[in-house]
Amino acid sequence: MFRKVLIANRGEIAVRIIRACREIGIPTVAIYSQADANSLHVRLATEAYCIGPASSAKSYLSIPAIISAAIVSGADAIHPGYGFMSERADFAEICAKHGIKFIGPTAEAMRKMGDKATARQTMIDNNVPVTPGTGILKTPEEVKEFANRVGYPIILKATAGGGGKGMRICRSDDDVETNMNLCQSEAQNFFGNPDVYAEKYLENPRHIEVQILADQYGNVVHLGERDCSIQRRHQKLLEEAPSPAIDEATRKEMGAAAVRAAKAINYESAGTCEFLLDHDGKWYFMEMNTRIQVEHCVTEMISNIDLVREQIMIASGEKLDFTQDEIMLRGHAIECRINAENPEKDFMPNPGTITGYVTPGGFGVRVDSHAYQDYAIPPYYDSMIGKLICWGRTRNEARRRMYRALKEYVITGVETTIPFHQEIIEDPVFMSGNFNTGFIEDFYKRTGKDKK
């Protein structure tokens, strides 16, 4: 087992990893920017090192600073969490050169799945359905040729993209040149790679993803699916498992496809295959995320498997100690992302000091957060300050428990998405389970709420 694990991240995921390491008995190293000196992960870790100023580029994205902290602290493994360095193949390679284990997939696997165009071809080669699409496109004329062949709308995507960045929808030839320039520029700024490709755009599909675990010995299992359809600007707000739109036959097909994809690239660690489900029940591969995801908690709640712990054990050379047949999914779980944002002002971030903080509790309720009373939310990073996860024997029981827990969750001093989630949970369309990625826009239209 590792002597010491450095967490190359911040916020709630850093706290989550520290807790998993503590339960295994591994000392932890936190890194932090000057803006995060009072963050909870700094307080909970065995030791902590400041690695730079508030800017992510000079702290959490600084490979020399992170590696230096690992060497100075004597850490022999690094867990990247999600975001930041989690899908940087070059970072994984640099860790290896310094004798530090990267807790995640190999650099080769990350490159195969991190480049979305390569990932598409890998899926095609392994009999996994994909939407009509292209390789890397260089000119607007190439985009138009594809669009006029498959029909508008199409979507332009950064090949190295993720998190809703580097994506533009084109509905006619008139949109192509401007959107391609914007997409390439955003791709360069966020991912250091301007390459883009195109896909046929499915209007308001369901967003379904399948969680997999794979060890270093070729053993791969899936842990069912999550429904992530409730999102704004391609960023998720609420997730649940299992999906109310998936039957058992489709669940098995999607799970088998995700396992084939992982085996095709000799994948190890936790990973997620994301799919789009259209209105006719047909599903298509979208991308693979080669990391732990924000919404991993709902899968943990229905599978009773600690995904972060499994990541650590796999990286240390352990085999999976369960087979596909031994995985039992029970009940239903829902996660609400608690963001410091104002939904009435188009989800504008609202950093500031939390003046009051009371978390909910009770059976089947979990809160993953780095927030506390008097914590100052910095304006430099993602606005998520926590996740509220509720489990129930049925979807309706989980939903009712979530509503109760949201009513108990008190955060004052900053605007949050808690009141908005209360409305979603009680919304008749959400309650029906019959919704798609257009839910938020539809919600505003149906309720007469105006995003100012």
Q: Which residues are catalytic?
A: 291
Supply the angle between the helices 296-303 and 307-315 in degrees, to the nearest 10: 100
Query: How far is Cα of residue 224 from the mean position of the Cα atoms in its chain?
Result: 16
CB 143 within 8 A of CB 180: yes
Asked if residue 244 has a cis previous peptide bond (ω within 30° of 0), the answer is no
The Cα angle at residue 411 between residues 333 and 356, in degrees rounded to 5 = 140
- Write phi, then psi, for 384 (nearest 5 degrees): -70, 130
- How far is the C-alpha of 48 from the C-alpha of 66, rounded, in Å? 12
Neighbours of 307 (CB within 10 A): 20
Torsion of Cα atoms, 320 then 326 then 332 then 338, to 10°: 0
The Cα angle at residue 176 between residues 273 and 119, in degrees rounded to 5 = 20
Residue that has been written with the tokens 């085999």 in this structure: 319
Query: How far is Cα of residue 38 from the mean position of the Cα atoms in its chain?
Result: 25
Asked if residue 153 has a cis previous peptide bond (ω within 30° of 0), the answer is yes
Write the CA distances from 290 to 59, 80, 89, 237, 361, integer angstroms: 22, 11, 10, 21, 32
Give which of 382, 384, 389 is closest to 409, Cα–Cα. Answer: 389
Handedness of CA 168, 238, 243, 311 (dihedral sign): positive
Residue that has been written with the tokens 């599978």 in this structure: 303
Give which of 306, 123, 314, 126 is closest to 218, Cα–Cα. Answer: 314
Give which of 16, 20, 52, 15 is closest to 33, Cα–Cα. Answer: 52
Asked if residue 242 has a cis previous peptide bond (ω within 30° of 0), the answer is yes
